[in-house]
Amino acid sequence: MRYISTRGEAPALGFEDVLLTGLAADGGLYVPESLPHFSLEEIRSWRGLSYSELAFNVMYPFVDDAIPADDFRKMLDETYSVFSHKAVAPLVQLDTNEWVMELFRGPTLAFKDFALQLLGRLLDYVLEKRKQHVVIMGATSGDTGSAAIEGCRRCEHVDIFILHPYERVSEVQRRQMTTVKGENIHNIAVRGNFDDCQRMVKESFGNQSFLGGKTQLAAVNSINWARIMAQIVYYFQASLALGGPDRSMAFSVPTGNFGDIFAGYLAKKMGLPISQLVIATNRNDILHRFMSGNKYEQHQLEHTLSPSMDIMVSSNFERLLFDLHGRDGQAVKKLLEDAAKGPVSIEDYRWRHARKLFDSDAVDDKSTCDTIREIHEQNEYLLDPHTAIGVRAARNCRRDSSVPMITLGTAHPAKFPDAVAESGVTVKPQLPAHMADLFEREERYTVLDNNIAGVQEFISKHWKNA
């Protein structure tokens, strides 16, 4: 399997190099040169498999020239054995043909664990094989940071630097990052927003001279192809649990950076019958404005009750644009250059092609709270604010009530107790036993100004071989 850049100017790479490179040399994102495709008969034969067995079938075509099958199976078994539910991604029914897929049963209580627990093991495997050291640099709007630290903290060949927006993540999210002990773990609170953090990461990948040529950066954000690859699996899992592939499914995906829903788009291209994908956003609604009106325009970022989606620059959207433009890297490059200057649209026929699969909705804080309260009153089931946005968007955008609608439950409600309290629900969500003492643990993090030079200087001084 070879991987190419969405901007068409970087060399094609194999899986190992894509894993370690993150952002392509031309500023683009790596995607497979071609996708594996599974027949309905083949997908049907996967009924009854464990999650790790299913994950092997879905993902191995992406890595088969880099990792022996037995080694990859072992990685997957280890990855998903740490999840707290035997089904790994269990389904909970809310109403007739309406479901939530709980993707928060991993060690950090968020869907990011599905990819980042695996990514840590992949990095360890490849870096040990190459006898190479890397510096992980990532930006988080809340959940990626803790999942990346948890997934990579035992890796012998990495130093981890995670940027989060200062005072813009929930206390649980922050403490999950800042209370993990390890000399190779560094949390940086940036006086800015997530887009500022993400911009610094992208610019640093584009020019790594601040590392003095002694090491290289590796990505844990969803620009890393391995993140997307791992997220494809649970679309297959949900479908098989509810009668697929003999019936089509619809999914509602709370998303800010577009990675999780792009994985669903790929699942469909790989042969899984999916009739609808709903982009569920909060007030930071650039994706909704594009999908509903063909206008891609950045607005001022707003702070909401769903901080993991407080994102205005959706990196993975570039991967969809690449497909919509017939995989023409030059066209994508020009479009994104124009988008940096002002509003852009794509040709109407391209936009209408996207609308055949995608719908979208933007849900404000009031509607988020209303949904948390309504679902709790109806089912005694507690949603976190991001999943609540997914449920509300699913109900607002649903095309066909006979098609199962599955909302991806992206985080545990205990990560957002303030949002739950604001909804009027009096039940306080409890952290699971392994996090019961979270608020008693010592925190370690450094607050830095919104200045890339200062952040790069900090990294250059604090990685282990500096």
Work out the end-to-end distance of the chain between its first and last CA atoms, rounded to an integer number of angstroms.
Answer: 35
H or E segment to which residue 276 belongs: strand 274-281
As given in the structure block, the two tokens for residue 294 are: 């063909």
* CA-wise closest residue to 146 among 375, 387, 435, 339: 435
**Residue 112 annotated to the active site:** yes
318: Cβ contacts below 8 Å, ≥ 6 apart: 6, 28, 29, 332, 336
* CA-wise closest residue to 114 among 191, 54, 159, 35: 54
Amino acid sitting at position 372: I
Q: What is the rounded (10 degree) CA torsion for 325, 329, 333, 339?
A: 20
Q: Tokens 């999914």: give the residue.
A: 251
H or E segment to which residue 9 belongs: none
* Beta partners for residue 360, in sequence order: 279
Q: Which of 74, 86, 112, 333 is catalytic?
A: 112
Q: Which long-range contacts (CB under 8 A, 24 or more apart) does 45-52 make?
A: 46/236, 46/240, 47/240, 51/80, 51/87, 51/88, 51/89, 51/233, 51/237, 52/76, 52/77, 52/79, 52/80, 52/81, 52/88
* Beta partners for residue 110, in sequence order: 411
* CA-wise closest residue to 286 among 264, 307, 257: 257
How many residues are listed for the chain in this entry?
466
In order of 8, 105, 410, the CA distances from 306 in angstroms are: 35, 19, 11
CB neighbours of residue 22 within 10 Å: 26
Which residues are tagged catalytic? 112
